[in-house]
A and B are shown apart, each in its own frame.
Chain A
Amino acid sequence: MPRLVEAFWLDVRIFMWTTPCIVAGALLLAVARSTRAPALFPVRLAAIAYIDVMRGVPVILWIYLIGFGVPGLGMERPWNSPLLWGSVALGMTYSAYVAEVFRAGIESVHESQRAAARSLGLSGAQAMRFVILPQAVRRVVPPLMNDLVSLQKDVALVSLIGPIEILRQAGIDKAKFANFTPYVGAALVFLAVTIPLTRFADHLLARERVRTGGSRVR
Chain B
Amino acid sequence: MTPRIELSGVRKSFGSNVVLDGVDLSAAPGEVVTLIGASGSGKTTLLRCVNLLEPVDDGRILLDGTDIAAVGVDPNPVRRRVGIVFQSFNLFPHMSVERNVTLALTEVLGQPATEAREAARAMLGRLGLADKAGAYPDQLSGGQQQRTAIARALALNPEVLLLDEVTSALDPELVGEVLDVVRELRGSGITMLIATHEMGFAREISDRVCFLAGGTVVESGPPSQVFGAPSDPRTRQFLARVIASGRLDP
Is the CB–CB distance between A119 and B79 below 8 Å? Answer: yes
| Range, interface on chain B | 20 to 34
B220 near A: Cβ within 8 Å? no
Which parts of B124-155 form the interface with A (CB within 8 Å)? 138, 152-153
Give the interface residue-count category, chain A.
Answer: 20 to 34
A-B CB pair tally, cutoff 8 Å: 61
Q: Is B53 an interface residue (CB 8 A)?
A: yes
The answer on a CB contact under 8 Å between A120 and B104 is: yes
Q: Of B80, B91, B94, which contacts A138 at CB under 8 A?
A: B94
A126 to B91, CA, bound (A): 16
The reply to whether B90 and A115 form a contact with Cβ atoms under 8 Å apart is: yes
Measured between beta carbons, the chain B residues less than 8 angstroms from A112 are 86, 88, 90
Bound-complex Cα distance A119 to B103 (A):
12
Is there a chain A Cβ closer than 8 Å to B93's Cβ? yes
Q: How far is the CA of A122 from the CA of B156 in the complex (A)?
A: 12
Q: Which residue of chain B lies nearest to A129 when distances are taken between CB atoms in the complex?
A: B107
Within 8 A of A (CB), among B37-93: 48, 51, 53, 75-77, 79-80, 83-84, 86, 88, 90-93
Report the bound CA distance from A1 to B34 in whole Å: 79
Q: Restricting to A125-154, which residues have a CB under 8 Å from any CB of B?
A: 126, 130-131, 134-135, 138
Interface of A is mostly: helix
The answer to whether B53 and A118 have CB atoms under 8 Å apart is yes
List of A residues within 8 angstroms of B84 by Cβ: 119
CB of B138 within 8 A of CB of A121, answer no
Partner of A122, one of B90, B93, B104, B138: B104
A117 to B51, CA, bound (A): 12
Contact B104 A113 (CB under 8 A): no
The yes or no answer to A215 lying at the interface (CB within 8 A) is: yes
A181 at the interface (CB under 8 A from B): no
Decide yes or no whether A38 CB sits under 8 A from chain B: no
Asked if A191 CB lies within 8 Å of chain B CBs, one says: no
Name the residue in A122, A212, A213 with the highest tally of chain B Cβ atoms < 10 Å from its Cβ. Answer: A122
Query: Known contacts A121-B104, A130-B107; is A116 also within 8 Å of B138 by CB?
Result: no
A123 at interface by CB-CB < 8 Å: yes
Q: Is the CB of A120 within 8 A of B94?
A: no
> Nearest Cβ in chain A — how far from B89, in angstroms?
9
Which residue of chain A is the closest to B106 with respect to CB atoms?
A130
Interface: B243 (CB within 8 A): no
B108 lies within 8 A of chain A by Cβ: yes
**Quick one: which of A116, A121, A213 contacts B92, CB cutoff 8 A?**
A116
- Write the residues of chain B forming the contact surface with A, with a CB cutoff of 8 angstroms: 48, 51, 53, 75-77, 79-80, 83-84, 86, 88, 90-94, 103-104, 107-108, 138, 152-153, 156
Chain A interface (Cβ within 8 Å of chain B)?
A: 112-113, 115-123, 126, 130-131, 134-135, 138, 212-213, 215-216
Q: Apart from A119-B83, A216-B138, what are 11 other A-B pairs with CB-CB below 8 Å?
A: A115-B48, A116-B91, A118-B79, A119-B153, A120-B104, A121-B108, A122-B108, A123-B76, A126-B107, A134-B94, A216-B93
Q: List 6 A-B contacts (CB under 8 A).
A: A113-B92, A115-B86, A116-B86, A120-B103, A123-B76, A130-B107
